[in-house]
Amino acid sequence: MEVEDHKEEHFTVAVRVRPFITREIESAAKVGWELPGPTSIKETNGERMFIYDNVFDQSTSTQILYEEICEKLVWKSLEGYNGCIFCYGQTGSGKTFTMQGSRKDSPGIVPLSIDSIFTYIQQTPDKSFLLRCSYLEVYNECVNDLLNPSLLNLQIQEDKQSGVKVVGATETVCTSISQVNSLLYLGETHKQIASTNFNMRSSRSHTIFRMIIESKSRSEADNCLNVATLNLIDLAGSEGANVHGPTASAHRTREMSFINKSLLTLSTVIMRLSDRTSNTPIPYRDSKLTRLLQPSLQGESKVVIICNISPSLDSYEESLSTLKFAQRAKKIKQIIVKNEIHDSKALIVKYEHEIKTLQEKLRDMETKLFEESESQDYNDTVVKMELKLSTIQEEKDQLDTKMESLMQDKLEMQSELERLRSMILVSENVKINPESNDAEQFTENNSKLNDRRRVRLSVMRESVSGSSQSIARVSYRPSEILLKSGSDIESRFRKFPTIDESKVPDISDSGEFRETMLLDKLDNLKELLESEEPLERMSMMLTPQDIQEAREFIRHSDAHEKKEEPQIDFIAIIQEQDGIIQSLQGVIEEKDEQVALLKDELELCRANLARIQKQLKEMKNK
Ligand SMILES: Nc1ncnc2c1ncn2[C@@H]1O[C@H](COP(=O)(O)OP(=O)(O)OP(=O)(O)O)[C@@H](O)[C@H]1O
């Protein structure tokens, strides 16, 4: 603690005379006091005159009063000096009007102080502040929390370090004027108010709005911290028996006796403090009010007392008593000290430390997030998955197309089968007469077929000798199969012996070929059905064209050699092909599942990436 200039200071004491109110005007009350100057007040019907720091007449607004005697004290509290402002006076003399006022028409000292505090903070960029507010009332000698009505009869504790403290009282950290005003409003709703003969809205309790102001230089070099308490007190008014009339309830009488007792104790404390020659103990502990005011009254605070009086002669005695109280208070001197703290117990230091730690954590997290979002691995994974997805999608599309064409082929084969069946029936039952017209027709067809056979053989030979790059159909020898495929399938079948063209028998003369060609193809087809590769299996499928060609070829040879056409099991072929179609459907379904899974995974990856980027962006904005 540091003594400011080591100078003694008096309490600042001012008197405020309110205007006549309706009740007084109606009773044609006479003026009891006149104001000869800005610091003096004199009896209208006598010689008594009192001098104070300020005397405010009926026309002075609370704003002027505040600027004259309160503003400096509030500023001082922001520099680390405790401050206490309270209004004293008889009931209905204007204490609440002066302390609270009305926000709209005539703001009181409390809202004006709050404005000053925030203006000061705004205009002091080299310091940081922390503001905590509490709002208490002393009602019937019980300390109640006005910010939490369930907290009643709180205990007052006193220790050397933290001074007088109300245990468990709500302390709210406030960061804006509107937040403090909300607290005030909340407190007002819980305050004890009743209607009396003197005041429609009479305060039945003493209320203490307390702000604890921590302030600290923002310079690293200066680690000194100031903590000040600003108490803004609206006392209940002293009351005579006439305040409630002869029919006063026990409840009101009890309230009145508590109010008067505590005010009397305050009066005694002020009297003892003003008489420095006396060694009599000061009875702070005789009332809750004086216990709470003790730190301010015994020398730790700058104090401003506003004594409110009615101008009416009818209230002369009460006003005189108030003026005498003010006169005693005026004599009190004290050495004001600035509260400087050099340890880290203050909340602002604790919070600053927490902020620093959190900022460091945030920076770490930001770096991690940045690294992760920038990580090649992560992006690679996304790219790889996208690629995989598109490959599988392509494969699936390819399979879909093949599937469609297979289905089409199957339909054609079925219709061909029907046609062939009818033809087989005809050839079995009907003997062909070579002399007939039919035979002529047959011979003509036969020669056309032989032409086709020759063309076909030359294509086959060309293919086998490698002159054709894209082989539509490859025939190695009669027992080999007919293939339609791409180069991979082609190479797969290069395992078959390479053909020696000179040894290729004349197809037209080969009776074996006619019978075995389709059967071989069927055998190969069966063998390849075991294959793992659906595309290869599919490529081995017989097309209706294959079947028709083979059929015609066989029929022609049979006719030529006058042999019976071999019975080819087309139903078996279709069934085999159905098997392939089914297995293909299975593969397509698998692919569908894979695509769906990959899409989900990719979505997740993208969502994660978006989330990380968003977090990063928010952190950067902060
Ligand atoms: N300076 C003033 N100008 C105009 N009206 C005032 C002034 N002071 C007080 N009044 C009016 O006088 C009445 C009583 O004032 P107020 O309630 O502030 O008295 P009080 O001292 O707080 O009374 P109590 O001790 O019973 O609570 C109110 O109607 C208030 O509006």
| Tens of pLDDT, residues 32-56 | 999 999 999 999 988 899 999 999 9
19 lines ligand 1 (CB under 6 A): yes
Residue 113 near residue 120, CB atoms below 8 Å: no
Using the predicted structure, report yes or no on whether residue 574 has a pLDDT greater than 60: yes
pLDDT of residue 502: 43
Q: Are 384 and 336 in the same domain?
A: no
Q: Are 268 and 389 in the same domain?
A: no
Lowest mean pLDDT among 130-139, 295-304, 460-469: 460-469
Q: In whole angstroms, what is the distance from residue 424 CA to residue 238 CA?
A: 130
Using the predicted structure, report yes or no on whether residue 67 has a pLDDT greater than 50: yes
Higher local confidence (pLDDT), 612 or 468:
612
* Beta-carbon-side half-sphere exposure of residue 428 (alpha carbons within 13 Å): 8
Q: Give the distance (Å) from ligand 1 centre to CA of residue 202.
A: 9
Residue 489 near residue 483, CB atoms below 8 Å: yes
0.80 exceeded by the pTM? no
Q: In whole angstroms, what is the distance from residue 133 CA to residue 230 CA?
A: 10
Q: Classify residue 617: in a domain, yes or no.
A: no
pLDDT of residue 589: 80
Tens-place pLDDT, residues 525-547: 556 545 545 444 455 555 666 65
Residue 346 near residue 224, CB atoms below 8 Å: no
Pocket test for ligand 1, best of 17, 18, 61, 319 (most atoms within 8 A of CB): 18
Which protein residue has the closest C-alpha to ligand 1 atom 10?
Answer: 94
pLDDT band for position 570 (50/70/90)? Answer: low
pLDDT of residue 510: 46
Q: Give the distance (Å) from ligand 1 centre to CA of residue 406.
A: 100
**What value does the mean pLDDT of the chain take?**
74
Which protein residue has the closest C-alpha to ligand 1 atom 11?
Answer: 94
Q: Are 338 and 211 in the same domain?
A: yes
144 lines ligand 1 (CB under 6 A): no
Q: In whole angstroms, what is the distance from residue 533 CA to residue 434 CA?
A: 49
Range of the domain at 313: 2-342
Q: Give the distance (Å) from ligand 1 centre to CA of residue 473.
A: 113
Strands 301-309 and 12-17: parallel
Q: Give the distance (Å) from ligand 1 centre to CA of residue 92.
A: 5
Using the predicted structure, report yes or no on whether residue 238 has a pLDDT greater than 70: yes
Q: In whole angstroms, what is the distance from residue 333 CA to residue 331 CA?
A: 6
Q: Give the distance (Å) from ligand 1 centre to CA of residue 52.
A: 21
238 lines ligand 1 (CB under 6 A): no
Biggest CA-to-CA distance, the chain? 167
92 lines ligand 1 (CB under 6 A): yes
Q: In whole angstroms, what is the distance from residue 23 CA to residue 101 CA?
A: 20
**Spatial strand order in the sheet of 33-37:** 33-37, 40-43, 49-51
Using the predicted structure, report yes or no on whether residue 420 has a pLDDT greater than 90: no
Q: Are 419 and 295 in the same domain?
A: no
Q: In whole angstroms, what is the distance from residue 373 CA to residue 379 CA?
A: 8
Residue 198 tokens read as 């003197």
pLDDT of residue 622: 64
pLDDT of residue 435: 45
Q: In whole angstroms, what is the distance from residue 142 CA to residue 206 CA?
A: 10
202 lines ligand 1 (CB under 6 A): yes
Residue 560 tokens read as 């030529």
Using the predicted structure, report yes or no on whether residue 507 has a pLDDT greater than 60: no
Using the predicted structure, report yes or no on whether residue 149 has a pLDDT greater than 50: yes
Q: Are 338 and 384 in the same domain?
A: no
Residue 203 DSSP SS3: strand
Domain count, the chain: 2
Residue 616 DSSP SS3: helix
Q: Are 176 and 35 in the same domain?
A: yes
Using the predicted structure, report yes or no on whether residue 396 has a pLDDT greater than 80: no
Residue 528 tokens read as 């390849």
Q: Binding site residues, as ranges?
A: 89-96
310 lines ligand 1 (CB under 6 A): no
Residue 289 near residue 266, CB atoms below 8 Å: yes
Residues contacting residue 618 through CB under 8 Å, at least 6 positions apart: none
Q: Classify residue 372: in a domain, yes or no.
A: no
* Beta-carbon-side half-sphere exposure of residue 486 (alpha carbons within 13 Å): 5
pLDDT band for position 442 (50/70/90)? Answer: very low
* Beta-carbon-side half-sphere exposure of residue 194 (alpha carbons within 13 Å): 17
Q: Are 230 and 273 in the same domain?
A: yes
Q: Are 200 and 80 in the same domain?
A: yes
18 lines ligand 1 (CB under 6 A): yes
215 lines ligand 1 (CB under 6 A): no
Q: Give the distance (Å) from ligand 1 centre to CA of residue 201.
A: 9
94 lines ligand 1 (CB under 6 A): yes
- Ligand 1, residue 93: give the atom nearest the CA: 21
Q: Binding site residues for ATP, as ranges?
A: 89-96
Handedness of CA 132, 137, 142, 146 (dihedral sign): negative
pLDDT of residue 180: 92
C-alpha distances in angstroms, 478 versus 411, 460, 503? 28, 11, 12
Q: Are 135 and 247 in the same domain?
A: yes
96 lines ligand 1 (CB under 6 A): yes
Residue 136 tokens read as 């208490």
Q: Classify residue 549: in a domain, yes or no.
A: yes
pLDDT of residue 240: 63
pLDDT band for position 297 (50/70/90)? Answer: confident
Q: Bridge partners of 49?
A: 42
> Which CATH number is 67's domain given?
3.40.850.10
308 lines ligand 1 (CB under 6 A): yes
pLDDT of residue 84: 92
Q: In whole angstroms, what is the distance from residue 547 CA to residue 482 CA?
A: 11
What does DSSP assign to residue 137? E
Q: Classify residue 312: in a domain, yes or no.
A: yes
Q: Classify residue 289: in a domain, yes or no.
A: yes
Pocket test for ligand 1, best of 88, 91, 97 (most atoms within 8 A of CB): 97
Q: Classify residue 349: in a domain, yes or no.
A: no
- Quick check: ipTM above 0.95? yes
Higher local confidence (pLDDT), 491 or 502:
502
Q: Give the distance (Å) from ligand 1 centre to CA of residue 100.
A: 10
Nearest-Å Rg of the Cα atoms of the chain is 54
pLDDT of residue 163: 73
229 lines ligand 1 (CB under 6 A): no
Q: Are 381 and 332 in the same domain?
A: no
pLDDT band for position 230 (50/70/90)? Answer: very high
Handedness of CA 348, 351, 357, 363 (dihedral sign): negative
User: Can you give 465-534 as a three-state secondary structure string?
Assistant: CCCCCCCCCECCCCCCCCECCCHHHHHHHHHCCCCCHHHCCCHHHCHHHHHHHHHHHHHHHHHHHCCCCH
108 lines ligand 1 (CB under 6 A): no
C-alpha distances in angstroms, 173 versus 73, 134, 148, 170? 21, 9, 15, 10
- Ligand 1, residue 199: give the atom nearest the CA: 26
- Ligand 1, residue 62: give the atom nearest the CA: 1
What is the enclosing helix (H) or strand (E) of 133?
A: strand 127-139
Q: Are 290 and 395 in the same domain?
A: no
Q: Classify residue 358: in a domain, yes or no.
A: no
Which one, of 558, 518, 544, lies nearest residue 419 by Cα?
544
- Beta-carbon neighbour count of residue 33 at 10 Å? 26
Q: Are 61 and 182 in the same domain?
A: yes
Domain boundary at 315, 342, 369, which? 342
